[in-house]
Amino acid sequence: MPHLEDYRPLVGADTVEELRLLGGFLAGKSVVHVNSTAVGGGVAEILSRMVPLLHELGMDTRWEVIKGGEDFYAATKRFHNALHGDVVEVGSKDYRVYESTVEENLPAIDLRADFVFVHDPQPAALVRARDGRGGHWIWRCHIDLSRPNPGVWAFFRPYVERYDACVFSAPPFAQRLPIPQALIAPAIDPLSDKNRDLGEEEIRSILERLQIPTDKTIVSQVSRFDRLKDPVGVIEAFQKAKPYVEARLVLVGGTADDDPEGAQVLSEVREKAAGDEDILVLCLPPTSHLEINAIQRASAVVLQKSIREGFGLTVTEALWKGKPVIAGAAGGIPLQIAHKHSGILTHTTDGAAYWLKRLLNEPEYAKKLGENGREQVRQNFLLTRHLRDYLLLFLFLDRGRADFIPLRSKEG
């Protein structure tokens, strides 16, 4: 795992020094993160990098994972989609399964810490255990809560209100809540296998191993096989653009432990792509970070045609690699892409097809978009900024929650 010093060449010495200064005020404090999957998906990825860095800064940091059966994950998937604003049938059985699973987890998870950091709705109800246990409780919502299903939000809201603070990834996700709502965008780790620089030879050999031909320009979308990422819409957009470009679409995805719908969506995608030799559908295991890195780097254009999105870290990854990105204007994506300056925002399949044609035919413009996008990520969406915001949130909760918090030398 990389150390803080390893980030210095990418983010600058002053950024690393600031993190050490902040860490000095929190050394010895304990943190426990809780989420619903150890592998797969953006949250697990962020935690796998964040936890060692918090340790390095002197915070005693643990990571716990809530466990549940298939019915629990089916229910939380429905909750997830409903909170994203999708029309989903959620029954009373779903709520019962949810509450009983959380109850079963309580004895197994050690929630004693100065900061209890609970990620997303799946473990949110753990907050019922806070009676008699000290520490500040934070609920980190990674999903787009701008238009939540009222019934499902009414169920979760009383739990959320028992936290000391919550964290959202974009301004439109804010709710009227009696607790402070921090705005903290997630970030990518530039040193992880998914984002680090790769040599041309390494890229070529990975593509060869994955049997991805390079005789045509590659266009890709990397995402879970999830309807909210609209993989079928990506195929349709590509097929509309195809008569005008020499390109091959590579749709890369996987499924996460907490996403039971994945297999079904993958089968729909395969059916849609059947018979088109310019479309490759790859289902990779959740540990395929280098492979994803290579595919993104080999792409001339990266798509992320999300209909709903939390923050859209796959967009951040592609921008960091200097790629022109065409993405749905959903969730946190407009925070990352200034339309026609650092990427392209679309709302329709026709729009995605139009811009795909255009970027493949105007490589100079596409290159400029990619360069601006990389600078945007360097300034705002790398792991060091994310870590700094978490440390500031801890200090806010620990030091009186005022609008102005002066820290003194002798404390550090």
Partner 1 sequence: MKLARAKEPFHFYTRLSLTFLTGLKARTVTELAEHLKTAPESVVYQHTHRFLQAHQYLVPEPPNDFAYWVSDMVQDEKLGERLAAIDTVRFSSLEELKSALVKTIEEYLGGGVAPRTVPEGKEFHFMRAVRFSIPTRSVACDLAEFADCLRKVSISSLYLHVFEARLRPPLGVNDFSKWLDGQLGEGALARKVANLDPYAQTMEGLRSRILKMVEKRLKEGSHAAP
Nearest approach, Cβ of 235 to partner 1 (angstroms)?
26
Q: Nearest approach, Cβ of 144 to partner 1 (angstroms)?
A: 11
Q: Counting contacts by CB under 8 A, is residue 393 touching partner 1?
A: yes
Q: Is 406 in the site for partner 1 (CB under 8 A)?
A: yes
Q: Please name which of 383, 332, 78, 352 lies closest in space to residue 221, comparing C-alpha atoms.
A: 352
Assess 28 for contact with partner 1 (CB under 8 A): no
Told to check if 48 binds partner 1 by CB under 8 A, we report no
The C-alpha atoms of residue 261 and residue 132 are separated, in whole angstroms, by 38
List the one residue from 168, 225, 311, 320 that touches partner 1 (CB under 8 A): 168
Binder of partner 1 out of 14, 201, 277, 364 (CB under 8 A): 14
- The encoded tokens of residue 198 equal 């790769």
Which residue of 28, 87, 274, 408 would you call a contact of partner 1, by CB under 8 A?
Answer: 408
Interatomic CA distance for residues 126 and 129, integer angstroms: 6
What pairing do the DSSP bridges indicate for beta strands 115-119 and 60-65? unpaired
Does residue number 171 form part of the binding site for partner 1 (CB under 8 A)? yes
Contact 376, 319 (CB under 8 A): yes
Part of the chain binding partner 1 (CB under 8 A), chosen from 55-63, 112-120, 165-173, 301-309 = 165-173
Between the CA of residue 244 and those of 194, 235, 275, 277, 357, what are the distances in Å? 31, 15, 19, 16, 7
> Rounded distance, CA 47 to CA 187, Å?
11
For 100, phi then psi, to 5°, come to -70, -35
Q: Does 211 contact partner 1 by CB under 8 A?
A: no
Q: How far does CA 95 lie from the centroid of its chain?
A: 25
Task: Tell me whether residue 271 or residue 371 sits nearer to partner 1 (CB atom).
Answer: 371
At what angle are helices 363-380 and 313-320 packed, to 10 degrees? 110
Q: Is 58 in the site for partner 1 (CB under 8 A)?
A: no
Contact present, 140 and 175 (Cβ < 8 Å): no
| Cβ nearer to partner 1, comparing 71 with 389 | 389
Question: Which one of residues 30, 175, 217, 239 is an interface residue with partner 1 (CB under 8 A)?
Answer: 175
Contact between 307 and partner 1 by CB under 8 A: the answer reads no
17 binds partner 1 per the rule CB under 8 A: yes
Residue 203 interacts with partner 1 (CB under 8 A): yes or no: no
Cβ atoms of residues 336 and 315 within 8 Å = yes
Choice from 329, 367, 368, 398 touching partner 1 (CB under 8 A): 329
**CA-to-CA distance for 94 and 76, rounded, in angstroms?**
8
Using DSSP's 3-state secondary structure scheme, residue 182 falls into strand
Which H or E run includes 314?
Answer: helix 313-320
Which residue, 15 or 30, has its beta carbon nearer to partner 1? 15
Give least dist CB 333 to partner 1, A. Answer: 12
273 binds partner 1 (CB under 8 A): no
Measured from the CB atom, the residue of 263 and 407 that comes closer to partner 1 is 407
- CA 317 to chain centroid, in Å, comes to 10
**Interacting residues with partner 1 (CB under 8 A):** 13-15, 17-18, 21-22, 25, 168, 171-177, 180-184, 329, 379, 388-389, 392-393, 395-396, 402-409, 412
